[in-house]
Amino acid sequence: MAVTVKTFASASEAAGALSSDRSARYLGGGTLVMRALNEGDVAISTVVRAQDQALTRIEAAGPRVTLGAGVTFARVLAERDLGFLHAPARSIGGPAVRNMGTVGGNLFATNPYGDFTVALLALDATIAVQGGFGSRDIPIEEFLQARERQAGTLVLSVSCTRPVSTEAFRYRKIARIKPKGGSVITLAAHLPISGGRIAGARIALGSMAPTQIRARAAERALEGRSLDAATIAAAASAATEGTSPSDNALGSAWYRREIVGVHLRRLLSGQE
Amino acid sequence: MSKIPLQFRHNGRDVAIFVDGGTNLLAALRELIGDMTPKFGCGQGGCGTCSVLIDGELHLSCLTLAETVAGRSIETLDGMKQGPNLHPLQRAFADNFAAQCGYCTPGMLMAAKALLDRNPSPSRDEVIEAISGNICRCTGYEPIINAILAAAGGRVSA
């Protein structure tokens, strides 16, 4: 079925078109929307695009990093100042998907995809969105909790604070096929250390619930402690709390629950 | 619904077609231009057999909205050989038995070309990474990796 394609010069015009039409979807890199069209998704009758330079801007020089929603993973990988995001960007797709897929689109990618969003959740990213009535910033957790209702808003950019050191941010994706494959589970940890103790731990998990979630019990086990074997063991044993994984072709819910603590322990103890 | 006029470069030649809204680049190339070298595999971005180069960058044509390539340059396997002569990558694939059923081959060759165009002497790991988005169900990948390394090293029969 043919769809109507509406192309706008500015993001605000595109946001207006998106918010006024329930059957409209925003086309970023195409890896989600074109896939849906190829599968004959009749819920989409309008495709909205914006050719706004602001959507592809990267601001990575300072302590606060902002990525336009249309920034591709290949561009993240080409940016030396974004080294802390290279592991999650590299874990997505093959080269063609990384040339197409965008940071903004990844926020809408359902299991077993959406790995970059796991990293952004651990980094407490802020999502700038524009609806019919202007733009606003939403904490990523709030955005993900209401993801089903976000299709009518246009994501403009994501921003997060750069981790203070390479040890402070860790990422691990478990896939059956290397170097490419859907996620069995994905883990990201932000562990700022203050005076030898963890202050503000954030652990994010992918494929452990309908959307990317935080492992709050594991975070509590880490908070205020030094990253020693006992602390890591406590966090690992709490990793499944609050999770609700599903079965899919890559792994069963049981398997995901079995391995998440193992991989969290390895991530926290710096093992390969 | 009205058709949308679209012009782009296809293997160095200017083409002009009319597409329906929502048509993907793969369908435009195969059905409207008549270039049957990019294949339809999964339609989901999982297999890579529809891979083409857009302005020299590897893309999946089945996930590319046709009208987004207006004014851009598209390269497909059909433009790879020079006259009657196979491209060194094509020759290397033949020499190394890198094609069995052949369905993945157009995408593999475009992914390999994208790699060698910017990195003429890749390592084995870089070759593996470059074709990681392309699925082959016949060869077990080793002959394909060897073929790409052979083409990069100039070890190709005349």
Q: Which residues of A touch B133 (CB under 8 A)?
A: 93-97, 180
Contact A94 B57 (CB under 8 A): no
For residues B106 and B89, what is the distance between their CA atoms, to the nearest angstrom?
11
Contact B48 A37 (CB under 8 A): no
- The residue-averaged pLDDT of B24-30 equals 98
Q: Which residues of A touch B48 (CB under 8 A)?
A: 94, 96
Do A165 and A241 contact (CB within 8 A), yes or no?
Answer: no
For residues B51 and A169, what is the distance between their CA atoms, to the nearest angstrom?
34
Contact A97 B24 (CB under 8 A): no
pLDDT at position A177: 85
pLDDT at position A151: 75
DSSP secondary structure, B52-103, as one string: EEETTEEEEGGGSBGGGGTT-EEE-GGGTSBTTBPPHHHHHHHHTT--SS-S
Q: What is the pLDDT of residues A73-111, one digit of tens each?
A: 999 999 999 999 999 999 999 999 999 999 999 999 999
What confidence category does residue B158 fall into, taking pLDDT thresholds of 50, 70 and 90? low
Contact B45 A47 (CB under 8 A): no
Q: What is the pLDDT of residues A174-198, one digit of tens each?
A: 999 877 889 999 999 999 999 999 9
Alpha-carbon distances, residue B95 vs B98, B148, B158 (angstroms): 8, 11, 10
- The residue-averaged pLDDT of A8-30 equals 95
Using CB atoms, pick whichever of A35, A49, A96 lies closest to residue B48: A96
Contact B20 A2 (CB under 8 A): yes
Residue A159 DSSP SS3: strand
Give the helix/strand (H/E) hosting A118: helix A115-122
Contact A37 B20 (CB under 8 A): no
Q: Which residue of A has its CA nearest to B25?
A: A34
pLDDT at position B136: 96
- The residue-averaged pLDDT of B22-41 equals 98
A1 has a pLDDT exceeding 70: no
Q: What is the pLDDT of residues B46-94, one digit of tens each?
A: 999 999 999 999 999 999 999 999 999 999 999 999 889 999 999 999 9
Average pLDDT over chain B reads: 96
Share of chain A above pLDDT 90, in %: 93
Q: Which residues of B touch A93 (CB under 8 A)?
A: 45, 133
pLDDT at position A205: 98
- The residue-averaged pLDDT of A29-52 equals 95
Contact A38 B63 (CB under 8 A): yes
Residue A184, phi-psi category: left (phi > 0), alpha (psi -120 to 50), beta (remainder): alpha
Question: Testing the interface with B: which of A3, A34, A176 to mutate, by most B Cβ within 10 A?
Answer: A34
For residues B104 and B119, what is the distance between their CA atoms, to the nearest angstrom?
22
Average pLDDT over chain A reads: 95
pLDDT at position A61: 93
Tokens matching residue A93: 């797709």
Residue A172 DSSP SS3: strand
The ipTM estimated for the assembled molecules is 0.96
Q: Which residue of B has its CA nearest to A35?
A: B44
A132 has a pLDDT exceeding 90: no
Contact A95 B68 (CB under 8 A): no
What confidence category does residue A171 fall into, taking pLDDT thresholds of 50, 70 and 90? very high
Interface of B with A in 52-91 (CB under 8 A): 57-60, 62-65, 67-68
Closest CA relative to residue A47, chosen from A117, A151, A146, A130 = A151
B1 touches chain A (CB under 8 A): yes
Dihedral, CA of residue A116, residue A105, residue A97 and residue A68, to nearest 10: -80
Dmax over Cα atoms in chain B, in whole Å?
53
Domains parsed from chain B with CATH numbers: 3-79 (3.10.20.30), 88-152 (1.10.150.120)
pLDDT at position A149: 82
Share of chain A above pLDDT 70, in %: 100
Q: What is the pLDDT of residues B112-144, one digit of tens each?
A: 999 999 999 999 999 999 999 999 999 999 999
Contact A30 B67 (CB under 8 A): no
Q: What is the pLDDT of residues A210-248, one digit of tens each?
A: 999 999 999 999 999 999 999 999 999 999 999 999 999
Q: Which residues of B touch A3 (CB under 8 A)?
A: 21-22
Residue with tokens 């926020």: A107
What's the predicted TM-score (pTM) here? 0.96
For residues A185 and B29, what is the distance between their CA atoms, to the nearest angstrom?
37
B31 touches chain A (CB under 8 A): no
Phi, psi (5° rounding) for residue B146? -60, -40
